[in-house]
Each structure stands twice: as C-alpha cells, then as structure tokens.
Amino acid sequence: MKRTIFRNQLLPWLLLAPQLAITFIFFLWPAAQAIRQSFLRQDAFGISTQFVGLSNFKALWNSPEYLNSLQVTAVFAVLVTVLSMGFSLLLAVAVDRTIRSSSLYTTLLVWPYAVAPAVAGILWWFIFNPTIGIMPYVLDVVGYDWNHISSKTDALALVVIASAWKQISYNFLFFVAGLQSIPASLREAAAIDGAGPVRRFFDITLPLLSPTTFFLLVVNIVYAMFDTFAVIDATTEGGPAQATNILVYKVYFDGFVGQNMGSSAAQSVVLMGIVILLTVIQFRYVEKKVAY
C-alpha cells in the first residue's frame, strides 16, 4: 500500500480502460460463453440449441475417450515434470560446483527457452523419424525398433522428450538461482560437521531448495498441461490411437475439427477449474509456505 496517492478519480479508469476492455472482450466474455455452452446442446445442423443441464459433463464422465485423455494428461505431465526437473537439477548442481566456467555453461544451456514448442516438436520428430532419424538408427543397434507412428509408447516418449527438453533451461535457471541463495556458510558448517558432498546435498541443499522445487513443480505441471499443445499438434496430433491426446488438445480437436460445441465447452470448463486450482495452489503455498 502506498502512503502517497493521487486524488484524481477519472484518470485511473482511463489508465485501466485498455486492459479492462481487452480482458472483458477476449477473456471474461468468452469464458462466460464457454460456461453457458457447456449447459447447452446443439442439434446436428446447428439450428436449435437446448438447455441440457449437466448432461455434457455427465457425457464426459462416461466417455472412455475423455477418461483416457485425463489419464494420458496425468502421465504426460508427471513424466515431463520429473524428467525435465531431474535433468535440470543435475545440471544446476554441477554448475554450482564450477566457478570460472559457470556463465559459459549457463549461456549454452539457457537458449532452448527461446525455441517455440512447435519448433521443438518438429526437431525431435525429425530426430526420431523412423526412416531417416538418427535416434531410431542408434536404438536399432541396441535392438529396439522405434516407431512413434504406430507405437503408443514411442509416441508418448517422443512428446515427453520434446516437451521436457524445451523446459530444461527454465528449470535450470531457477535451480541455479535457488542454489545460489543457500548461504555458503550452511554448507561449510555441514562440512565441518563431517558431512561429505553427497550427504550435504541430501541433508542441506535439497531441503533448503524445497521452495524452488515446489514452485517449479507447479510451473512445470501448468506447462505440461497447457503449453505443450503446440508440441502435440506439430508431432503426433494426439495419436496414435489417442495415446498422446492430452486435455487441451482434445478441447481443440472436439471444438474445431469435431464441431462438438457442447462437449468442447464442458471440457473447457473442466480445464478452467484445473487452472484455477493450480493458480490458487501457486499463490497460497508457493509464495512462502514451503520455506525455512
């Protein structure tokens, strides 16, 4: 709260007007529409609509495809988060040990942040291309026959790798910042108490890093659930056989390609609920709770 304020009454509204106008027209109104539509059903020709209560939601609950999508999303989000955060933490801890060359390594590790998810998808799609990609060639040597066009596991692995790769730099930067904020004296004290490097990592560093870790956990789940649309669309398009059809992709597909407005709107509402939940968790707990 500011002590000093200006007394003008009209000016603040003028200053807020552009932001509020855009928020109303492109955020609140469409969100309200989505909620409204989730209670309606259109006939096959789009001529008449009728109020159907919660039946769109019930239909989702009874749809094996939607339940599959929920499960795929959960598996996908967990894999992306664990893979990306694990790899990033390893790199961050290593950088924290090097002194002179840490900024060089940082430069070499941060740029994937700037690569569009769609482009990341295309790059990995190419590397894993069953006919000309180098990874299937390498895997063939160890006896694995990679084919993400027909194998559900391979397809999921591909989108997980592409999505996790893109997020490495983000996690890395925050882990490095988190590590640097741990006072050196604590680790020195532990060293004097006779703890070796590995012990120190698990007894001192990891617990003190928990605010960063928890924050990144939420951010990565949000990323995996919503920002990976482009990765999926640029590569597997949800296939094969729904194996990579995550929730945001399904909303898009059912709405635009399938033209099933009621179901798509109901899915939107469910997603909104998930985002709200994640945002609340982020604001309630990330800010201060998991701290020492």
Partner 1 sequence: MIENRPGLNLLAHLTLMLGVAIVALPVWVALVASTHTATDFMSGTIPIWPGPHLVENYARMLDAGVSTSGTPPVGTMMLNSLVMALLIACGKIAISITSAFAIVYFRFPLRNLAFWCIFITMMLPVEVRIVPTFQVVADLGLLNSYAGLSIPLIASATATFLFRQVFLTIPDELTEAARIDGAGPLKFFRDILLPLSRTNIAALFVILFIYGWNQYLWPLLITTSSDYYTIVAGIKRMADAVDGLPQWHLVMATAMLAMLPPVAVVIGMQRLFVKGLVETEK
Q: What is the DSSP string of 193-256?
A: TT--HHHHIIIIIHHHTHHHHHHHHHHHHHIIIIITHHHHHHTTTT-STTTT--HHHHHHIIII
224: closest CA among 154, 163, 267, 156?
163
Q: How far is the CB of 107 from partner 1 (least distance, A)?
A: 6
Report residue 120 as tokens: 């990341």
SS3 (DSSP) at 166: helix
Nearer to partner 1, 23 or 71 (CB): 23
Q: How far is the CB of 259 from partner 1 (least distance, A)?
A: 10
Nearer to partner 1, 24 or 202 (CB): 24
Output Rg (C-alpha) for the chain, integer angstroms: 24
Report residue 245 as tokens: 């059809």
Q: How far is the CB of 136 from partner 1 (least distance, A)?
A: 9
Q: How far is the CB of 117 from partner 1 (least distance, A)?
A: 7
Q: How far is the CB of 50 from partner 1 (least distance, A)?
A: 19
Q: What is the DSSP letter of 44?
A: T
Nearer to partner 1, 133 or 240 (CB): 133
Q: How far is the CB of 137 from partner 1 (least distance, A)?
A: 5
Contact 219, 43 (CB under 8 A): no
The C-alpha atoms of residue 86 and residue 262 are separated, in whole angstroms, by 40
Q: How far is the CB of 275 from partner 1 (least distance, A)?
A: 5
Residue 240 preceded by cis peptide, ω within 30: yes
> Cα angle at 177 between 76 and 85, to 5 degrees?
15
Nearer to partner 1, 67 or 280 (CB): 280
**Packing angle between helix 64-97 and helix 210-222, nearest 10 degrees?**
140
For residue 130, the tally of other CB atoms under 10 A from its CB is 17
Nearer to partner 1, 24 or 61 (CB): 24
Nearer to partner 1, 97 or 289 (CB): 97
Nearer to partner 1, 65 or 193 (CB): 193
